[in-house]
Structures are given as structure tokens and as C-alpha cells.
Chains A and B, each alone.
Chain A
Amino acid sequence: MGSVPRATSSPASVPGAVAGISAEVLIALRADMLRFAQLQLRNAESAEDLVQDSIEAALRHSSSFAGQATLKTWVFAILRNRIIDHLRTAKRTVPMSSLVEDGEDWQERLETLFNEKGGWRDGPRPVAWPNPEESMQTRQFWRVFEACLDHLPPNTGRVFMMREFLGFESDEICSQLAISTSNCHVILHRARLKLRGCMESGWGRPGSGTC
């Protein structure tokens, strides 16, 4: 696929259909993009700016959209670069401690994956996933995956996405969010535990339904 354009700014102009990507389609993605940007930045105004900027860049560079990736992931990749730049230069985001916790029931539900001795219960015990690389070529796989990401609780999702989507090292995440290394690792662990379970029930088990 084509390269993802980096930040450049130009006057706002949202034309109509450009090379197969209509403005309507991009505007429909806007809500998803805003939700993600706000989760990462905790600042409505910055989120709005970055999303607008990304949409404009997507329209300007629509010729490099190869059409193999979903439009959503392509536009999100543009937004991703902008969020990374913003977080690295802004120096400070809202610390985690000032946010509402994800809730204890979420933690308790993860505990039920294991028996009292800490062994896997039969249902959630991981099975070998069939051909993950092949599956990554299918639409169903990515649908399940995106739905699973969406089901992470907000704070957990924020830390996990910062680590695995934006590509920050856990040290950076600790200092950005003012949380301890061990806290950060626990959050990442829970996110992974939850995600793999969701992926497995949605896709990894033969004959399984959706997430």
C-alpha cells in the first residue's frame, strides 16, 4: 500500500469525492477518529484539530490509498502519526490518576478465567490459533479484532493502544501518564489477557461466532 502522509498543514478544504474516497465516507469515520484521539489526548480541542488535519491529509493524498487496506485503517494510520507527534511534543497529558478507574468488576471477570489454584479453567484455556497469518488476510479477522479493541475499558485501552498501536515504550507511557512501571505492566497484562480471549471466541476457535 502507499505511504502514509506525515503532518503538513494547509488551509481546510473538504472537497467532494476524490479519487474514490468520498468526503461523506471520511466524515462518517470522524466519530471513530475523535473517540480514539480524545481517549489518547484527553483534550477535546487538540483531538478535534488532529482529526480534522488527518481527514484533510487523507483527501489530499487519496491517490496513495491503495484500496487494499480498509479505508478506516488507512486514515487511522495518518491520525496515528499525528497523535504520536503531538504526545511527544506536548510533554504532558492528563495523568491516569485523575481519571476514573476502569472498575473492579473488570478485574474480577479476568480472575474467573482461572481456578482457585491459578490454573486455566476449561472454557478459557487457550487453544492453538489456526493460521493467524492467513487469517490476517481476511475481513472477518479484522472485524473481530477491531470489535475486541473497542471492548477494552477506556483506561486499559488507552495504555494498550499507546503501547502497541502508537508504539511508545512502557517507560515513556509511565512518565506520560504518571503511573508506576508495575502499574503500567499490570494494565498491559490485563489488556492482553482480555484481548486474546475475545479474539479466540470471535475467531480463533473453529466454528466460532462473532465476538
Chain B
Amino acid sequence: MLNCREVTELCSEEMERSLRLREQMSLGAHLLMCSGCTNYRKQMKTLRQVMQAYAAGHAVTSERGYAGPTSSDGSA
């Protein structure tokens, strides 16, 4: 039985390669019982969508269309 830590690894792994049947089954069994990991897996997909939008330059937005430069120390 996989634990949550292992499941998060698999959730990342499946973004990189197709999982083997046994991995898919263990993942599926865990997700049925675990809402935390189910949320995690959804978030991984969201994260990829967000990155794609960001890479395409689609990050919105200020009300006026220009948010101003963010500072370089990450305090944005």
C-alpha cells in the first residue's frame, strides 16, 4: 500500500512518463481513500495549465492592463 509521500511522487512521475499498470492501480486505490492526494493530483494538472498560460504570456492582469514591474527580490 502506497503512502501519501509515495503517491505525490507518482503524481509527478505521471507528468513525465506513462505509469505502469501496477503503478496506476496502486495510485487509483490510494486516491479512492485519500482526498488530500486527490486534491494534490488535481493541483499538479492545474500547475501545468498555469505554467502553460504563463509561458504563453497570458498572465493577467491589472485593472488597467499594466501591473508595473515586480521587484527582483521576489516580493512581487
In the bound complex, residues from chain A placing their C-beta under 8 Å from that of B36 are 120, 125-126
Given A35-B72, A165-B55, A170-B16, A126 and B3 contact (CB-CB distance below 8 Å): no
B residues 17-76 near A (Cβ < 8 Å) are 36-37, 39-40, 42-44, 46-63, 65-70, 72, 74-76
A: contact size bracket: 35 or more
Interface residues on B, range: 35 or more
Count of inter-chain pairs, beta carbons less than 8 A: 148
Flag if A189 contacts B9 (CB, 8 Å).
yes
- Structural contact, A118 and B12, CB atoms closer than 8 A: no
Q: How far is the CA of A108 from the CA of B23 in the complex (A)?
A: 26
Tell me the dominant secondary structure on chain A's binding face: helix
A164 touches B48 (CB 8 A): yes
A139 at the interface (CB under 8 A from B): yes
Known: A165-B51, A193-B8. A71 touches B67 (CB 8 A): yes
Q: Which residues of A contact B74 (CB under 8 A)?
A: 146-147, 150-151
**Which residues does chain A contribute within 8 Å of B46, judged by CB atoms?**
129, 132
Q: Does A195 contact B (CB under 8 A)?
A: yes
A117 to B2 CA separation, bound complex (whole angstroms): 10
Give B24 Cβ to nearest chain A Cβ, in Å: 17
> In the assembled complex, how far is the CB of residue B71 from the closest CB belonging to chain A, in whole angstroms?
8
- In the complex, whether A89 has a CB less than 8 A from a CB of chain B is no
Contact status B55-A139, CB under 8 Å? no
Contact A71 B55 (CB under 8 A): no
Contact of A67 among B15, B37, B48, B65 (CB under 8 A): B65
* Chain A residues engaging chain B, CB cutoff 8 angstroms: 1, 4, 20, 25, 28-29, 31-32, 35, 67-74, 76-77, 80, 113-114, 117-120, 125-129, 132, 136-139, 142-143, 145-147, 150-151, 164-167, 170, 185, 188-189, 192-193, 195-196, 199-200, 204
Interface residues of B (CB under 8 A from A): 3-6, 8-9, 11-13, 15-16, 36-37, 39-40, 42-44, 46-63, 65-70, 72, 74-76
